[in-house]
Amino acid sequence: MAKIEMKTALVEMDGDEMTRIIWQMIKDELICPYVELKSEYFDLGLEMRNATDDQVTIDSAEATKRLGVAVKCATITPNAARMEEYDLKQMWKSPNGTIRALLDGTVFRAPIVVKGIDPVVRTWKKPITIARHAYGDVYKNTEIRVPGAGTAELVFTAADGTVTREKIHEFEGAGVIQGTHNLDASIESFARSCFEYALATGQDLWFATKDTISKTYDHRFKDVFAEVFEADYRTRFEAAGIEYFYTLIDDAVARVMKSEGGFIWACKNYDGDVMSDMLSSAFGSLAMMTSVLVSPHGYFEYEAAHGTVQRHYYKHLKGEPTSTNSVATIFAWTGALRKRGELDATPELVEFADRLERATIQTIEAGKMTGDLARITSLEDVTTLGTREFILAVRETLDALA
Protein backbone atom coordinates (compact mmCIF):
# COMPACT_ATOMS: atom_id res chain seq x y z
CA MET A 1 0.00 0.00 0.00
CA ALA A 2 1.35 3.45 -0.95
CA LYS A 3 2.19 5.69 1.96
CA ILE A 4 0.41 9.01 2.44
CA GLU A 5 2.54 11.94 1.32
CA MET A 6 2.96 15.08 3.41
CA LYS A 7 3.36 18.41 1.63
CA THR A 8 4.98 20.25 4.54
CA ALA A 9 6.99 19.03 7.50
CA LEU A 10 5.76 19.28 11.06
CA VAL A 11 7.94 19.99 14.09
CA GLU A 12 8.69 16.91 16.17
CA MET A 13 9.74 17.57 19.77
CA ASP A 14 10.99 14.39 21.43
CA GLY A 15 11.01 14.12 25.22
CA ASP A 16 11.90 12.06 28.26
CA GLU A 17 11.50 8.76 30.12
CA MET A 18 8.50 6.48 29.48
CA THR A 19 6.88 8.87 27.05
CA ARG A 20 10.08 8.88 24.98
CA ILE A 21 9.85 5.07 24.74
CA ILE A 22 6.17 5.33 23.73
CA TRP A 23 7.02 8.08 21.21
CA GLN A 24 9.28 5.77 19.23
CA MET A 25 6.79 2.88 19.37
CA ILE A 26 3.99 5.10 18.05
CA LYS A 27 6.17 6.29 15.19
CA ASP A 28 7.38 2.79 14.33
CA GLU A 29 4.03 1.01 14.55
CA LEU A 30 1.29 3.56 13.95
CA ILE A 31 2.65 6.43 11.85
CA CYS A 32 5.64 5.53 9.66
CA PRO A 33 4.15 2.36 8.09
CA TYR A 34 1.30 4.51 6.73
CA VAL A 35 2.63 8.05 6.31
CA GLU A 36 5.78 9.27 4.56
CA LEU A 37 6.58 11.29 7.66
CA LYS A 38 8.14 14.69 7.04
CA SER A 39 9.34 16.18 10.28
CA GLU A 40 11.96 18.55 11.60
CA TYR A 41 13.22 16.67 14.64
CA PHE A 42 14.24 18.39 17.88
CA ASP A 43 15.41 16.36 20.84
CA LEU A 44 13.97 18.08 23.92
CA GLY A 45 15.14 15.22 26.16
CA LEU A 46 16.79 16.67 29.25
CA GLU A 47 20.31 15.58 28.21
CA MET A 48 20.11 17.51 24.95
CA ARG A 49 18.58 20.55 26.63
CA ASN A 50 21.49 20.52 29.06
CA ALA A 51 24.08 20.01 26.30
CA THR A 52 22.71 22.91 24.22
CA ASP A 53 22.04 25.25 27.18
CA ASP A 54 18.35 24.86 26.35
CA GLN A 55 18.87 26.36 22.87
CA VAL A 56 17.17 23.29 21.37
CA THR A 57 13.90 24.27 23.07
CA ILE A 58 14.07 27.78 21.63
CA ASP A 59 14.96 26.40 18.20
CA SER A 60 11.98 24.05 18.28
CA ALA A 61 9.62 26.93 19.11
CA GLU A 62 11.11 29.04 16.30
CA ALA A 63 10.62 26.13 13.89
CA THR A 64 6.98 25.94 15.01
CA LYS A 65 6.54 29.59 14.05
CA ARG A 66 7.92 28.74 10.60
CA LEU A 67 6.05 25.47 9.98
CA GLY A 68 2.85 26.17 11.97
CA VAL A 69 2.35 22.69 13.48
CA ALA A 70 4.26 20.81 16.19
CA VAL A 71 3.85 17.60 18.17
CA LYS A 72 5.57 17.37 21.54
CA CYS A 73 6.46 14.48 23.83
CA ALA A 74 6.27 14.99 27.61
CA THR A 75 9.48 16.38 29.08
CA ILE A 76 11.07 16.57 32.51
CA THR A 77 10.88 19.92 34.26
CA PRO A 78 14.03 19.78 36.38
CA ASN A 79 13.95 20.05 40.17
CA ALA A 80 16.71 19.50 42.73
CA ALA A 81 16.55 15.70 42.36
CA ARG A 82 16.87 15.94 38.57
CA MET A 83 19.89 18.29 38.89
CA GLU A 84 21.71 15.42 40.51
CA GLU A 85 20.21 12.60 38.45
CA TYR A 86 21.22 14.25 35.14
CA ASP A 87 24.23 16.23 36.40
CA LEU A 88 22.70 19.46 35.03
CA LYS A 89 24.56 22.72 34.46
CA GLN A 90 21.44 24.65 35.52
CA MET A 91 17.90 24.00 36.64
CA TRP A 92 16.50 24.55 33.13
CA LYS A 93 13.03 26.05 32.93
CA SER A 94 9.98 24.07 31.92
CA PRO A 95 10.11 23.58 28.12
CA ASN A 96 6.33 24.07 28.03
CA GLY A 97 6.72 27.44 29.71
CA THR A 98 9.50 28.47 27.29
CA ILE A 99 7.53 27.37 24.24
CA ARG A 100 4.32 28.99 25.50
CA ALA A 101 6.11 32.29 26.08
CA LEU A 102 7.61 32.26 22.56
CA LEU A 103 4.37 31.28 20.81
CA ASP A 104 2.17 33.49 23.05
CA GLY A 105 -0.37 30.73 23.19
CA THR A 106 -3.35 29.42 25.10
CA VAL A 107 -3.55 25.77 26.16
CA PHE A 108 -6.73 23.84 25.36
CA ARG A 109 -7.27 20.54 27.16
CA ALA A 110 -9.96 18.06 26.22
CA PRO A 111 -10.75 14.53 27.46
CA ILE A 112 -10.84 11.63 25.01
CA VAL A 113 -14.27 10.12 25.55
CA VAL A 114 -14.56 6.33 25.31
CA LYS A 115 -17.48 3.99 26.10
CA GLY A 116 -16.70 2.09 29.28
CA ILE A 117 -14.69 4.93 30.82
CA ASP A 118 -17.65 6.88 32.13
CA PRO A 119 -17.55 10.43 33.43
CA VAL A 120 -18.57 10.66 37.08
CA VAL A 121 -20.99 13.42 36.10
CA ARG A 122 -23.87 11.49 34.55
CA THR A 123 -25.15 14.30 32.31
CA TRP A 124 -21.82 14.74 30.46
CA LYS A 125 -22.24 13.22 27.02
CA LYS A 126 -19.56 15.15 25.13
CA PRO A 127 -16.09 16.35 26.09
CA ILE A 128 -15.62 19.70 27.80
CA THR A 129 -12.55 21.58 26.62
CA ILE A 130 -10.79 23.86 29.09
CA ALA A 131 -8.90 26.90 27.79
CA ARG A 132 -6.54 28.24 30.42
CA HIS A 133 -5.07 31.74 30.23
CA ALA A 134 -1.36 31.16 30.74
CA TYR A 135 -0.15 34.58 31.86
CA GLY A 136 -0.20 36.60 35.07
CA ASP A 137 -2.56 36.82 38.06
CA VAL A 138 -1.42 34.80 41.07
CA TYR A 139 1.29 33.04 38.96
CA LYS A 140 3.24 36.30 38.66
CA ASN A 141 2.42 37.78 42.04
CA THR A 142 4.32 39.77 44.64
CA GLU A 143 3.60 39.03 48.25
CA ILE A 144 4.43 40.60 51.59
CA ARG A 145 4.04 39.07 55.00
CA VAL A 146 2.75 41.94 57.13
CA PRO A 147 4.45 41.70 60.53
CA GLY A 148 2.08 43.99 62.42
CA ALA A 149 0.15 47.25 62.45
CA GLY A 150 0.64 49.57 59.47
CA THR A 151 -0.83 50.87 56.23
CA ALA A 152 -0.84 48.92 52.97
CA GLU A 153 -1.19 50.87 49.72
CA LEU A 154 -1.27 50.10 46.02
CA VAL A 155 0.94 52.59 44.16
CA PHE A 156 1.35 52.99 40.40
CA THR A 157 3.91 55.43 39.02
CA ALA A 158 3.24 56.19 35.36
CA ALA A 159 6.07 56.71 32.87
CA ASP A 160 5.45 60.48 33.09
CA GLY A 161 5.75 60.41 36.87
CA THR A 162 2.04 60.66 37.71
CA VAL A 163 1.27 58.64 40.82
CA THR A 164 -1.97 56.76 41.50
CA ARG A 165 -2.44 55.55 45.07
CA GLU A 166 -5.13 53.36 46.64
CA LYS A 167 -5.33 52.22 50.23
CA ILE A 168 -5.49 48.42 50.51
CA HIS A 169 -5.90 48.09 54.25
CA GLU A 170 -5.12 49.71 57.58
CA PHE A 171 -3.55 46.80 59.46
CA GLU A 172 -4.01 46.66 63.20
CA GLY A 173 -2.12 43.41 63.49
CA ALA A 174 -0.18 40.92 61.39
CA GLY A 175 -1.45 39.66 58.03
CA VAL A 176 -0.57 39.21 54.35
CA ILE A 177 -0.73 41.27 51.11
CA GLN A 178 -0.54 40.15 47.50
CA GLY A 179 -0.12 42.15 44.29
CA THR A 180 -1.11 40.65 40.95
CA HIS A 181 -1.33 42.04 37.43
CA ASN A 182 -2.35 41.27 33.90
CA LEU A 183 -1.90 42.92 30.50
CA ASP A 184 -4.52 44.04 27.98
CA ALA A 185 -2.36 42.54 25.22
CA SER A 186 -2.21 39.14 26.91
CA ILE A 187 -5.93 39.09 27.67
CA GLU A 188 -6.65 40.00 24.06
CA SER A 189 -4.40 37.22 22.73
CA PHE A 190 -6.16 34.80 25.06
CA ALA A 191 -9.58 35.96 23.82
CA ARG A 192 -8.55 35.65 20.17
CA SER A 193 -7.09 32.16 20.68
CA CYS A 194 -10.38 31.09 22.30
CA PHE A 195 -12.59 32.56 19.59
CA GLU A 196 -10.38 31.02 16.88
CA TYR A 197 -10.42 27.61 18.54
CA ALA A 198 -14.21 27.72 18.95
CA LEU A 199 -14.54 28.41 15.22
CA ALA A 200 -11.96 25.74 14.31
CA THR A 201 -13.81 23.08 16.34
CA GLY A 202 -17.40 24.32 15.87
CA GLN A 203 -18.11 24.55 19.61
CA ASP A 204 -19.73 27.23 21.80
CA LEU A 205 -17.40 29.28 23.97
CA TRP A 206 -18.09 30.02 27.64
CA PHE A 207 -16.10 32.53 29.67
CA ALA A 208 -16.47 33.45 33.32
CA THR A 209 -14.80 35.72 35.89
CA LYS A 210 -15.75 37.27 39.21
CA ASP A 211 -16.46 40.74 37.80
CA THR A 212 -19.19 41.55 40.36
CA ILE A 213 -16.56 41.52 43.11
CA SER A 214 -13.47 42.48 41.11
CA LYS A 215 -14.97 45.52 39.38
CA THR A 216 -11.77 46.69 37.67
CA TYR A 217 -9.49 43.65 37.36
CA ASP A 218 -11.89 40.87 36.38
CA HIS A 219 -14.15 43.36 34.66
CA ARG A 220 -11.30 44.16 32.28
CA PHE A 221 -11.23 40.50 31.18
CA LYS A 222 -14.99 40.58 30.56
CA ASP A 223 -14.72 43.83 28.56
CA VAL A 224 -11.77 42.68 26.42
CA PHE A 225 -13.59 39.48 25.47
CA ALA A 226 -16.75 41.45 24.64
CA GLU A 227 -14.85 44.05 22.56
CA VAL A 228 -12.92 41.43 20.56
CA PHE A 229 -16.08 39.40 20.03
CA GLU A 230 -18.12 42.35 18.74
CA ALA A 231 -15.32 43.68 16.54
CA ASP A 232 -14.13 40.48 14.89
CA TYR A 233 -16.14 37.38 15.75
CA ARG A 234 -19.90 37.96 16.18
CA THR A 235 -20.63 37.61 12.46
CA ARG A 236 -18.37 34.58 12.07
CA PHE A 237 -19.93 32.88 15.12
CA GLU A 238 -23.44 33.48 13.75
CA ALA A 239 -22.42 32.05 10.38
CA ALA A 240 -20.94 28.98 12.12
CA GLY A 241 -24.05 28.55 14.31
CA ILE A 242 -22.10 28.77 17.57
CA GLU A 243 -22.41 31.07 20.59
CA TYR A 244 -20.25 33.13 22.90
CA PHE A 245 -21.62 33.08 26.45
CA TYR A 246 -20.35 35.11 29.42
CA THR A 247 -21.36 34.49 33.03
CA LEU A 248 -20.04 34.66 36.59
CA ILE A 249 -17.53 31.95 37.57
CA ASP A 250 -19.80 30.45 40.26
CA ASP A 251 -22.72 30.34 37.83
CA ALA A 252 -20.43 28.72 35.23
CA VAL A 253 -19.37 25.97 37.65
CA ALA A 254 -23.00 25.18 38.46
CA ARG A 255 -23.99 25.13 34.78
CA VAL A 256 -21.01 22.93 33.79
CA MET A 257 -22.18 20.31 36.28
CA LYS A 258 -25.65 20.21 34.73
CA SER A 259 -24.54 20.46 31.09
CA GLU A 260 -24.17 17.80 28.40
CA GLY A 261 -20.67 19.03 27.54
CA GLY A 262 -19.54 19.79 24.02
CA PHE A 263 -18.26 23.34 24.58
CA ILE A 264 -15.07 25.25 25.36
CA TRP A 265 -14.74 26.74 28.82
CA ALA A 266 -12.30 29.66 28.89
CA CYS A 267 -10.81 30.18 32.35
CA LYS A 268 -8.55 32.73 33.96
CA ASN A 269 -5.15 31.33 34.93
CA TYR A 270 -6.02 30.04 38.42
CA ASP A 271 -9.51 28.83 37.50
CA GLY A 272 -8.02 26.91 34.56
CA ASP A 273 -5.33 25.30 36.71
CA VAL A 274 -7.87 24.04 39.25
CA MET A 275 -10.74 23.22 36.90
CA SER A 276 -8.64 21.25 34.42
CA ASP A 277 -7.56 18.83 37.16
CA MET A 278 -11.18 18.53 38.30
CA LEU A 279 -12.37 17.87 34.75
CA SER A 280 -9.69 15.34 33.84
CA SER A 281 -10.36 13.33 37.00
CA ALA A 282 -14.13 13.54 36.49
CA PHE A 283 -13.78 12.35 32.90
CA GLY A 284 -11.69 9.36 34.00
CA SER A 285 -7.94 9.72 33.65
CA LEU A 286 -5.10 12.16 32.97
CA ALA A 287 -3.81 9.63 30.47
CA MET A 288 -6.94 10.29 28.38
CA MET A 289 -6.48 14.05 28.15
CA THR A 290 -5.17 15.86 25.08
CA SER A 291 -3.61 19.25 25.14
CA VAL A 292 -2.98 21.76 22.36
CA LEU A 293 -1.28 25.12 22.50
CA VAL A 294 -2.94 27.52 20.07
CA SER A 295 -1.29 30.85 19.34
CA PRO A 296 -3.28 33.88 18.17
CA HIS A 297 -0.97 33.87 15.10
CA GLY A 298 -2.23 30.45 14.05
CA TYR A 299 0.50 28.08 15.32
CA PHE A 300 -0.53 24.77 16.91
CA GLU A 301 1.48 22.54 19.25
CA TYR A 302 -0.07 19.20 20.29
CA GLU A 303 0.90 17.10 23.30
CA ALA A 304 -0.40 14.77 26.01
CA ALA A 305 -1.55 16.40 29.26
CA HIS A 306 0.35 13.93 31.47
CA GLY A 307 4.03 13.89 32.38
CA THR A 308 6.86 11.49 31.55
CA VAL A 309 5.46 8.68 33.78
CA GLN A 310 8.73 8.33 35.66
CA ARG A 311 7.62 5.43 37.89
CA HIS A 312 6.85 3.25 34.87
CA TYR A 313 10.14 4.24 33.22
CA TYR A 314 12.17 2.95 36.17
CA LYS A 315 10.30 -0.35 35.95
CA HIS A 316 11.04 -0.42 32.22
CA LEU A 317 14.76 0.19 32.89
CA LYS A 318 14.79 -2.74 35.30
CA GLY A 319 13.31 -4.92 32.55
CA GLU A 320 9.98 -5.25 34.34
CA PRO A 321 6.76 -5.24 32.30
CA THR A 322 4.93 -1.91 32.03
CA SER A 323 1.39 -1.00 31.08
CA THR A 324 1.61 2.69 30.21
CA ASN A 325 -1.28 4.33 28.43
CA SER A 326 -0.23 5.80 25.07
CA VAL A 327 -3.64 7.18 24.06
CA ALA A 328 -2.98 10.86 24.80
CA THR A 329 0.36 10.70 22.96
CA ILE A 330 -1.27 8.96 19.97
CA PHE A 331 -3.88 11.75 19.93
CA ALA A 332 -1.12 14.37 20.06
CA TRP A 333 0.22 12.84 16.82
CA THR A 334 -3.21 12.59 15.18
CA GLY A 335 -3.99 16.19 16.19
CA ALA A 336 -0.80 17.43 14.54
CA LEU A 337 -1.20 15.27 11.42
CA ARG A 338 -4.84 16.36 11.00
CA LYS A 339 -3.93 20.04 11.37
CA ARG A 340 -1.08 19.58 8.85
CA GLY A 341 -3.54 17.93 6.47
CA GLU A 342 -6.08 20.74 6.90
CA LEU A 343 -3.51 23.50 6.39
CA ASP A 344 -1.95 21.79 3.35
CA ALA A 345 -5.24 20.55 1.85
CA THR A 346 -4.20 16.89 2.12
CA PRO A 347 -7.50 15.10 2.82
CA GLU A 348 -5.79 11.66 2.94
CA LEU A 349 -3.77 12.82 5.92
CA VAL A 350 -6.88 14.14 7.70
CA GLU A 351 -8.64 10.87 6.98
CA PHE A 352 -5.68 8.86 8.32
CA ALA A 353 -5.68 10.88 11.57
CA ASP A 354 -9.42 10.26 11.99
CA ARG A 355 -8.94 6.54 11.32
CA LEU A 356 -6.09 6.17 13.81
CA GLU A 357 -8.21 7.87 16.50
CA ARG A 358 -11.15 5.59 15.70
CA ALA A 359 -8.88 2.55 15.86
CA THR A 360 -7.56 3.64 19.26
CA ILE A 361 -11.04 4.16 20.68
CA GLN A 362 -12.41 0.93 19.19
CA THR A 363 -9.52 -1.05 20.64
CA ILE A 364 -10.41 0.14 24.13
CA GLU A 365 -14.14 -0.31 23.57
CA ALA A 366 -13.39 -3.91 22.50
CA GLY A 367 -11.95 -4.44 26.01
CA LYS A 368 -8.24 -4.17 25.20
CA MET A 369 -6.60 -1.50 27.32
CA THR A 370 -3.73 -0.59 29.64
CA GLY A 371 -3.85 -1.13 33.39
CA ASP A 372 -4.84 2.43 34.35
CA LEU A 373 -8.07 2.09 32.34
CA ALA A 374 -8.69 -1.56 33.23
CA ARG A 375 -8.89 -0.44 36.87
CA ILE A 376 -11.69 2.08 36.25
CA THR A 377 -13.66 0.71 33.29
CA SER A 378 -17.30 -0.35 33.49
CA LEU A 379 -16.69 -2.88 30.67
CA GLU A 380 -16.57 -6.57 31.52
CA ASP A 381 -14.15 -9.16 30.09
CA VAL A 382 -11.28 -6.74 29.84
CA THR A 383 -7.77 -7.72 28.73
CA THR A 384 -5.00 -5.67 30.35
CA LEU A 385 -2.20 -5.13 27.88
CA GLY A 386 1.40 -4.04 28.26
CA THR A 387 2.72 -0.78 26.80
CA ARG A 388 3.81 -2.26 23.46
CA GLU A 389 0.98 -4.81 23.29
CA PHE A 390 -1.63 -2.05 23.45
CA ILE A 391 0.04 -0.17 20.57
CA LEU A 392 0.17 -3.39 18.54
CA ALA A 393 -3.53 -4.00 19.28
CA VAL A 394 -4.32 -0.52 17.96
CA ARG A 395 -2.31 -1.33 14.83
CA GLU A 396 -4.36 -4.46 14.29
CA THR A 397 -7.62 -2.48 14.60
CA LEU A 398 -6.21 0.18 12.27
CA ASP A 399 -5.38 -2.38 9.60
CA ALA A 400 -8.86 -3.87 9.90
CA LEU A 401 -10.40 -0.40 9.34
CA ALA A 402 -8.34 0.35 6.22
Give the residues lining the site for ligand NAP (CB under 6 A). Answer: 74-77, 96, 286-287, 303, 306-311, 324-325, 372
Sign of CA dihedral 191, 195, 196, 197: positive
CB-CB neighbours of 126 under 10 Å: 15
Beta-strand pair 163-171/150-157: antiparallel
| Rounded-to-integer distance, Cα 201 and Cα 126, Å | 13
308 binds, among ligand NAP, Mg ion, none (CB under 5 to 8 A by kind): ligand NAP
Q: Alpha carbon of 349 to those of 38, 312, 335, 338, 344: distances in Å? A: 12, 32, 11, 6, 10
Closest CB to ligand NAP among residues 104, 372 = 372
From CA 209, how far away is CA 267, in angstroms rounded?
Answer: 8
Cβ-based neighbours of 228, under 8 Å, separated by 6 or more: 188, 191, 192, 195
Q: How many CB atoms lie within 10 A of CB 323?
A: 19
Residue from 273, 342, 344, 365 binding Mg ion (CB under 5 A): 273
* Closest CB to Mg ion among residues 118, 277: 277
Q: Considering the complex, state which of residue 277 and residue 342 has its C-beta at the smaller distance from Mg ion.
A: 277
Residue 40 or 277: the one with the smaller Cβ distance to Mg ion is: 277
Site string for Mg ion, 123-162 (x = CB under 5 A): ----------------------------------------
Nearest distance in Å: CB 274, Mg ion:
7
Please state the closest distance from residue 15 (CB atom) to ligand NAP, in A: 6
Nearer residue to ligand NAP within complex by CB, 43 or 211:
43
Per CB under 5 A, 118 contacts Mg ion: no
> What is the maximum alpha-carbon separation in the chain?
79
In the complex, minimum distance from the CB of residue 25 to Mg ion, in angstroms, rounded to a whole number: 28
Residue 273 interaction partner, one of Mg ion, ligand NAP, none, beta carbon < 5-8 Å per kind:
Mg ion
CB-nearest residue to Mg ion: 273
- 3-state class (DSSP) for residue 266: strand
In angstroms, give the least distance from the CB of 136 to Mg ion: 16
- In this structure, which amino acid lies at residue 225? F
Residues that bind Mg ion (CB under 5 A): 273, 277
